Each structure stands twice: as C-alpha cells, then as structure tokens.
Amino acid sequence: MTFALTTAKYLNVVKQQPFTQTFGKVSEVVGLVIKVVGLASFVGEICEVHLTSNNKIALTEVVGFVKNTVLLMPLDDLEGISPGCLVVPTGRALTIKVNPALLGHTLDGLGRPMDDLEITDDFTEYSVMRDAPDPFKRPPIRETLPTGVRAIDGVLTVGNGQRMGIFAGSGVGKSTLLGMMAKYAEADVIVIGLIGERGREVREFIEKDLGPEGYKKAVVVCATSDMPPLVRLKGAYVATAIAEYFRDQGKKVVLMMDSVTRFAMAQREIGLSTGEPPTTRGYTPSVFAMLPKLLERSGPAEHGSITAFYTVLVEGDDMNEPIADAVRGILDGHIILSRKIAGQNHYPAIDVQSSLSRLMKSLVSPEHATAANKLRQSMATYNETKDLIEIGAYQIGTNQNVDQAINLHQPINQILTQSVDEHALFDNTVNQLKQLFQQPTMM
C-alpha cells in the first residue's frame, strides 16, 4: 500500500513537468521589429534568438502580437539574424541581480555590470517592472532633504520623498547640477540613470561631476544613445528598481534620471515600430500612458523613501512641449534652468521665479518661507524696472521698493550663484537668506 502511494505521488510530479518545449521561428525583420511565428508567449517575456551565422544568442522582449505573429524587439545586437532562426521563450520577464555591493559600480541598461563587479550567489533576483506603492500607505512628506545647493535649499526646498523635474534645453547645466546634488545631498544611496546620453559623457559624469566621494554611495545605470530603444527604455526601469530595492531596506534614496525625454523618445520609437498612431509631435499614446507608471514609483513608502530628480530636455527651450507639459503635471515641483541666465555666467542657471516646489510651504519654518517670498518679490521688482535702471532713467528715491531691490540685487545673486566644488550647508543657507532681509534697507 505504501509503495503504491509513493508511486502515485511521483507519477503526479512527473505529469506536472513539461517534457517538450515550443520554439518559434523568425519569419520577418522590419526595422526594429522581429516577427516570429509558432511562439506562445506573453507581452514582456524575454526570448532568446539563436543567431545561426555566428552561433550567438541575442535577448529580445515580446512587445505585441498581430494575430498569430509575435512581435519582438531586440535587447542585444542582432547582427547575423536570418529567416528561420530559432526563438526560445524563457518564461519570465526582465529581472536584475541586486545587492548592497552595487554601490560604487556602473550597470548597463539591463542591469549587467559594466566594470569589475562580480555577481555572486549573495545577489537577490529583483523584478524590473513593479507597481507604484499603494497611495493609502504612503506617509506624508514632513522632512526636508538638504541638497547642498543654495538656490534649491533656500527658495525651492525639497522634501524627503518629493519628486522634482529639472527642465532645460541642451547645454544649460543639467548634468552639472545633478552632479552637485549627488555629491552633497544628505542621502544614504544615490541611484543615477543616464538614459540616452552620449557615451563620452558617462565616464566624464562619474569622474568629474560625481567625483570619488559621490561614486562611493552611488549606483550608475547607463543606457547610451547608441543602444536599442528597448534597452534605453528598460534602463529607466532598472534604475528605478534598484532605488526601490534600497528603499525597501529603509534607506533614504535619491534617484536622478537624465533624461525622461530620452525615455519618451525610446518609447516613441517602439510604439511607431509596432504600429501605434503618432499623436502630438509624433509621440504615441503609449508614451503618455507609461510616463506616470514610471514617475509614480518614486516617492515616500512604508519603509524608506525615494526622492527623485528627473531631467526633461525641452526642444527649442519650449517649456510647454508635450513631454515637459505631461511631466510637470505629474511631479511635485519643477526647477527650470534658463539659457539667458547661463549666458550671464550665473550658475547654477536656475530661473527662481519660474520654478516651484509644491511642498516647500509645508516643510520650512514661517521665517524661511517669508524670506524666500521676499527674495522672489525683490527679483520681480528689479526685473520690471531693469531697463530703466540700465539706461540711467530711474532716479534713486522715486520708489522705495525699487530702491530696496537695487540694493539687494547683488547680495541675492551671491546667494543664488555657487561653484561646483562649494558645498552649502542647509542651515547656513537659511540663515543667509533670513539675514539678507533683516538689513536696515528692508525695514
């Protein structure tokens, strides 16, 4: 009787095990899309394409279906692909290996080490595509996050778990500002996603902008512009997943992504290749559906928090272009970098009057908030009469508010400008701001 029960037990186990595997075959390659027949898989599944000409295996991902034809997009180089190449489904979506040992290392867009990091058995497998935290389980943001940048800490104070956008055209100083915050921000872990950037800038950012001290507590995810669009897309999700891993350990994490625009462009390439209709400026509907799914994953959570800074590369310095407008509506504030201010050798080139931190009033003291408002008012007053002042048409004593704005113009600029190597302590910044408006000229 015992023998029969044991035999039945093992027979049931054997029946549940698959002894056959279904392969697909490449039938067509059109642009970025690989069409495969005979394959049963799900959207997001990783598949292996066996390249016959060079005996290599290329990773791909299922991005859609057309009737019985499966559409794949490459995660690797497809040189050597030909009709009839075997396609093997792996049965899983993209995952990465995570461990605290990632700190001080650089990964590619799929989470694979690009330096001497060795993946061991101690690393945990972590899903890349994850849901945002439950809104009802997110704690309120009550604590400030000092960034070490006076213009931000003083006038655009950021909370621990807040999500901010940095909007600017090309060459205005986005990467330099990110490097300053990465070095000086009071966080346990910095995760930096370089999405669609120039390959030349990766090492330059790590060595020059980030520096040895910043790199020690950072993980850099790099998906350069020459990589397939799906890798650039996944690079943003990989960086977010790594930030989530450290957040779940109770760490105070800062996530920096440069840039969300390249992420959107990668999804636009994928959408157009799979037959989506183009909408505003050629962006497909899936772009605007994926943006909130990516951006909502950061923020406060039950254990730990992710304070996020997302850069947005605005085309032609148009702050109302589609991606900038969509991102600004999702995030908790925006920092706008001005080409005109940068042209005056004023760095960081933050346009204080056009920038906003939605949570600042609830984070800082009333004295701090009052001083920041007075600074904005003084700058606005000076800018309104700037032309008259510069041509000598304004007479001192005509308007008391304008006189005060003129007297404070240089002191305000000294507070808002900062060299790359200067670390501004939060308390010192607040005290400087308060003292500025305690002078007799403001009485």
Each residue's pLDDT tens digit in the chain (443 positions)?
465 666 777 777 766 666 667 789 999 998 889 999 988 889 999 999 998 777 889 999 999 888 889 999 999 888 888 899 999 999 899 999 999 999 999 999 999 998 888 888 899 999 999 999 999 999 999 999 999 999 999 999 999 999 999 999 888 888 889 989 999 999 999 999 999 888 777 888 888 878 888 888 999 999 998 899 999 999 999 999 999 999 999 999 999 998 899 999 999 999 998 889 998 888 999 999 999 999 999 999 988 899 999 999 887 667 778 999 999 999 999 999 999 999 888 999 999 999 999 999 999 999 999 999 999 999 999 888 888 877 878 778 788 888 898 899 999 999 999 998 899 999 999 999 999 887 554 43
Q: CATH 2.40.10.170 in the chain: give the residue spans.
A: 23-93
Q: CATH 1.20.1270.330 in the chain: give the residue spans.
A: 367-436
Query: Is the Cβ–Cβ distance between 22 and 74 less than 8 Å?
Result: no
Query: Is the Cβ–Cβ distance between 110 and 128 less than 8 Å?
Result: no
* pLDDT value, residue 221: 95
Consecutive H or E run containing 95: strand 95-98
Concatenate the DSSP letters of all residues of 238-285 into one string. HHHHHHHHHHHTT-EEEEEEE-HHHHHHHHHHHHHHTTPPP-GGG--H
* pLDDT value, residue 230: 93
* pLDDT value, residue 172: 87
Q: How far apart are CA 331 and CA 52, in angstroms?
A: 47
* pLDDT value, residue 5: 61
Query: Is the Cβ–Cβ distance between 59 and 48 less than 8 Å?
Result: yes
* pLDDT value, residue 103: 93
3-class SS at 28?
Answer: strand
- Tell me, what amino acid is at 68? N
List Cβ<8 Å contacts ≥24 apart for 350-354.
Answer: 350/151, 350/152, 350/156, 350/177, 350/416, 352/151, 352/155, 352/156, 352/376, 352/379, 352/416, 353/379, 353/380, 353/383, 354/319
Residue 66 exposure: Cα atoms within 13 Å on the Cβ side: 13
Q: How far is residue 274 from each of residues 39, 67, 191, 286, 289, measured CA to CA in Å? A: 18, 13, 31, 11, 16
Class of domain 96-362: alpha beta
Fold classified for 23-93? Thrombin, subunit H (2.40.10)
What is the CATH number that goes with domain 367-436? Answer: 1.20.1270.330
* pLDDT value, residue 66: 87
Q: CATH 3.40.50.12240 in the chain: give the residue spans.
A: 96-362
Q: How far apart are CA 237 and CA 301, in angstroms?
A: 18
pTM: 0.90
Query: Is the Cβ–Cβ distance between 275 and 248 less than 8 Å?
Result: no
* pLDDT value, residue 443: 37
Gyration radius from the chain CA atoms: 26
3-class SS at 412?
Answer: helix
* pLDDT value, residue 124: 92
* pLDDT value, residue 441: 47
Q: How far apart are CA 240 and CA 191, in angstroms?
A: 8
- Tell me, what amino acid is at 435? Q
Residue 53: name the closest of 22, 77, 89 by CA. 77
* pLDDT value, residue 77: 84
- By residue count, the chain amounts to 443
Concatenate the DSSP letters of all residues of 139-175 into one string. PP--SB---S-HHHHHHS--BTT-EEEEEE-TTSSHH
